[in-house]
Chain A
Amino acid sequence: MTESNGNSQSKMHGLWALTNRELKKWYKAPVIFILSIIQPVIWMGLLGKAMNIGAMFSGGTFAIPPQLAQQFSPAQLSLLGGYFAGLQTSILQSAFNTTDYFSFMAVGMISFTALFTTMFSGMSVVWDRRLGFMNKVLSTPVSRAVIIFSKVLSATLRSMFQAGLIILIAIAFGLQFGIGFNPIYVLGVFGIMFLICVGLSSVFIAITIRSTRIETPMAVVNLINLPLMFASNAFFPTKFMPDWLQTIAKVNPLTYTTDAVRQLLIFSTDWTQLALDFTYVGIFAAIAATIGMVLSWRFLSK
């Protein structure tokens, strides 16, 4: 039968067809595509440039009061001025590990994108079920695992594309690379993005695949999305957070993802820390993907 059909089926056949279907919906719809580019630009502009923490320490914000200035000689004053100017750099350096908050934040955007893109692409599962496409695919000889893989893969590819885009935009806006940065480190960024996206999207797909109403996964996403984002080091260093929040941030895989990207791009790379980040996110991805895919697979094989 298989011969007369002329089919050449492998265990993974249909994977690219289904993944490409998802991707086509994205890149063939110009409005969605452009919006997905504009969104990180807006976020970077708002958070990175509006919350210009560096500016708080520079020039005008901090002048020596005139009464105080009278007590010092001009030589002492210029020494003091130099001290304060140095303070700015040193505070930023110790708080953010870089002197440029924009660079700090822009890199945080990358994990932000991973979270949002994977969450919302999980929604397509609900539509596929509601519109009957899922049932149609289930009646073809495509493996159940491939159906889930294709969802994970398309979410991952989209996020990785956006990550690359954010890096480019950030460079245009004045991203300051760390000392010893090598362009090859960007591959590392894609590596960590791949891991976190596979993990996150597996979890979201396991949640959405059970739902025939779009409202349910929406509520879940809204509930956990921003808390997960702010309970990480994406926008602010965890060491200034209260203890309980630090504890959450310490188990949050986004913290490790963001740190890895920072280590690679804007910090002077700490290889031990980077190895830890990759191990943690790798283990998270493996566990999340296993649980998520097993749950989805069991649901589809019911």
Chain B
Amino acid sequence: MSEDVIKAEGLTKIFNSHLTAVDHIDFSVKRGEIFGFLGPNGAGKTTTINMLITILKPTDGKASVLGFDIARQDYNVRNVIGVVPQEYTADEDLTGVENILLCADLYGIPRNIAKERVIDLLKLVELTDFGDKKVQTFSGGMRRRLELACGLVNRPKVLFLDEPTLGLDVQTRTATWNYIRKLKKEFGMTLFMTTHYLEEADALCDRVAIIDHGKIVVVGAPEELKHGLGGDVITLGIKEEADVSELIQSIEHVKDVKKEDGSYRIKAESGEVTAPLIIEALRRKGHTVTKLSLTEPTLNEVYLEYTGKSMRDAEESREAFASQRMTMRRAHQ
């Protein structure tokens, strides 16, 4: 079997013959790595994951998981993958154990084997003491861990996680990352995840594909992507109206200058040395620097570089979406 556990070629999904959610994407995921799909709400992340887990048929192109074609060998794919959905799908009226056993039944795992696995899985996600409690008493983090346990019940070779920490607080998010890292380290599992949290992609993923409007704009290791930007980012504002881009550009170490909403985004090697040089040069020309910040590149800078916009706006609408869904869940209870 090849080293590529997941391979997509020209994968495309068009809804209602006009809405292109995923637009001819190519990528491959190597054995044992954590591969992240990073992008804002509506970028096509969930559509991609839904095609890979065989619940949506691609409109065009193809993809395979562990050598099985997602369209023609969907049954084989379903057997070897685990899925942790974005939503809390566990049944609130049932206990943790009952929920995992239900998942086991869906894979046709015999009861005696399933019961042994339940014990292991509860231990893995540290829910042993809560296995017999109804899920409606669980906190958000506990539910997320239960979803993780359910997704692992068939001992998958590849685990798909759709927004694994959506709506979780910072501590719980960090804890969830540790469970995911453990899966990779202890079981050599290949993980495919989507996220719109930049820090999450940075902290967790071996490689990241940035997706925007259904297209992959760049793929690479987070470190590599950040270094590829060519150093630090200096953001600077001046009092005067004049355009000083060319002046800044001429300074040593400065690689690129972009003017955005009255401030300048300057890319420079060793920013801590370059920044004073820029201030000095501007002052000599009679400009007053009103603000300045120096950041080492993050994935947000990478995102900005390739898509021309920040991810924050998208994130806000995402939170609104999540809260709306929570309201709906409560209405149901």
In the bound complex, do residue B107 and residue A5 qualify as a contact, i.e. CB atoms below 8 Å apart? yes
Alpha-carbon separation in the docked complex, A25 to B81 (Å): 28
Q: Which listed segment binds B: A13-21, A94-102, A103-111, A281-289?
A: A13-21
With an 8 A cutoff between CB atoms, is A138 at the interface?
A: yes
Complex formed: what's the CA distance from A58 to B149 in Å?
69
Residue in B55, B85, B87, B98 with the greatest tally of chain A CB atoms within 10 Å = B55
Chain B nearest CB from A217 CB (Å) reads: 15
Binds A, one of B89-97, B200-208, B220-228: B89-97
Q: Pick the contact of A5: B94, B109, B328 (CB < 8 A).
A: B109
Total CB contacts across the A-B interface at under 8 A: 97
Given contacts A7-B154, A14-B105, contact A136 B75 (CB under 8 A): no
Number of interface residues of A (CB under 8 A): 34
- With a CB–CB cut-off of 8 A, which chain B residues contact A140? 78, 83, 103, 106-107, 154
Hey, which chain B residues are within 8 Å of A5, CB to CB?
79, 107, 109, 154-155
Q: B160 — which chain A residues lie within 8 A by C-beta?
A: 139
Q: CB of B110 within 8 A of chain A?
A: yes
Q: B106 — which chain A residues lie within 8 A by C-beta?
A: 13-14, 17-18, 137, 140-142
Measured in the bound complex, the distance between the Cα atoms of B103 and A9 in whole Å is: 13
In the bound complex, CA of A14 to CA of B157 (Å) = 22
Residue ID in chain B nearest A7 by CB atoms:
B108
A residues 141-159 touching B (CB-CB < 8 Å): 141-142
Whole-angstrom CA separation of A139 from B49 in the bound complex: 11
The interface residues of chain A lying within 8 Å CB-to-CB of B53 are 139
In the docked arrangement, what's the CA distance between A139 and B93, Å? 22
Q: Which residues of B contact A131 (CB under 8 A)?
A: 87-89, 329, 332
CA distance A14 to B83 in the complex (A): 17
Question: Which residues of chain B from 159 to 185 have any CB-CB distance to chain A below 8 Å in the complex?
Answer: 160
Residues of chain B with a CB closer than 8 A to A132's CB = 85-89
Interface residues, chain B, with chain A CB atoms under 8 Å away: 50, 53-57, 75-76, 78-81, 83, 85-89, 91, 93-94, 98, 102-103, 105-110, 113, 150, 154-155, 157, 160, 328-329, 332
New contact pairs (17) apart from A5-B109, A5-B155, A131-B332, CB-CB < 8 Å: A1-B157, A2-B79, A5-B79, A7-B107, A8-B110, A10-B108, A18-B106, A24-B93, A24-B94, A28-B94, A131-B329, A132-B88, A137-B106, A140-B83, A141-B79, A141-B108, A301-B57
